[in-house]
Amino acid sequence: MVTRRARRIVLRADDRAVIPKEDAAVAGSPERVTTADARRGMVAAMRTWTARKRVDADPGVVLDVLCDPDACRRWSPVPFELDGEDVARLAAGSRMRVSGQLVGRRVGFDVEVHEAGDGRLALSAHGPVAFDVAYEARPVRGGSEVCASVSVRSGGGLLGRMAESATAALLQAGALGLAVDRIAASAAS
C-alpha cells in the first residue's frame, strides 16, 4: 500500500504489490525480446505485475514446484488443463497447449518455455491474451526469495480485449501475490 504524508510517499514493507525503485534493477529485464510478435514490427504495450516473497525452501525446491505441471495446477490463479500429451516437467524449449475458462469462455493458449533452470522459469503463452511470465528463486539465508513477474497484453479482437481486461483485474486484485503465496506453501511442505 502506498500512503501519502506531507508530500512524501511511504512504501509499506508488507505490500507485495509495490516493488521499490531500487529493487527494479535487481530483477532486471531479459536481454532478448520475449514476445514472439516483436519480429513483425509493432507490438501492443504489455502491462506488468510483480510480486516477491521469502520462502522457507531452497531455490531448487522452489524451481521443482514451478516446473511440475501438477503443482502448477495447485498454485495457478486460473485453473487450466494440458491439452494433448502429459508433460512430466517444464523444460527450456518445451511447447504445449493449455486450456481453461476466462471471461466465461473456454480458451486455449500455446505455451513456450524459454528457461527452466538455475532458479528461473520464463515462459510465454499466446491465445486471446498474451503473457510473458518469469519466476526467479534466489538463495537467501534460510531459504529463497521468489520474484514473479507477469506481463499481459491483448491477443487481438473483442475477446482478446475482454480477456485482457479480466486478467488485468485478477492481477490487480492480487492474484499474482496469491500464486506466490501458494508456491511458497507448496515448496515449504
Strand, coil or helix: 116: strand
Quick check: 120 and 31 in contact, CB under 8 A? no
Cross-strand partners of 150: 49, 133
pTM, full prediction: 0.73
Q: At which residue does the C-alpha cell 531500487 appear?
A: 22
**pLDDT tens sequence across 169-178:** 999 999 999 9
* pLDDT value of position 22: 41
DSSP state of 37: G
pLDDT along the chain (189 residues), means of 10: 43 48 45 55 74 95 94 87 86 93 88 95 94 95 94 90 90 93 93
Predicted pLDDT of residue 4:
41
Task: Give tens-digit pLDDT for 52-79.
Answer: 999 999 999 999 999 999 999 889 888 8
pLDDT value for 30: 52
How much is the pLDDT for 104?
85
Residue 5: the pLDDT is 43
C-alpha 47 chain-centroid distance: 12
Per-residue pLDDT, 39: 54
| 8 exposure class (CB count in 10 Å sphere: 0-12, 13-18, 19+) | exposed
Instruction: Determine the Cα–Cα distance for residues 115 and 119; give it in Å rounded to an integer.
Output: 10
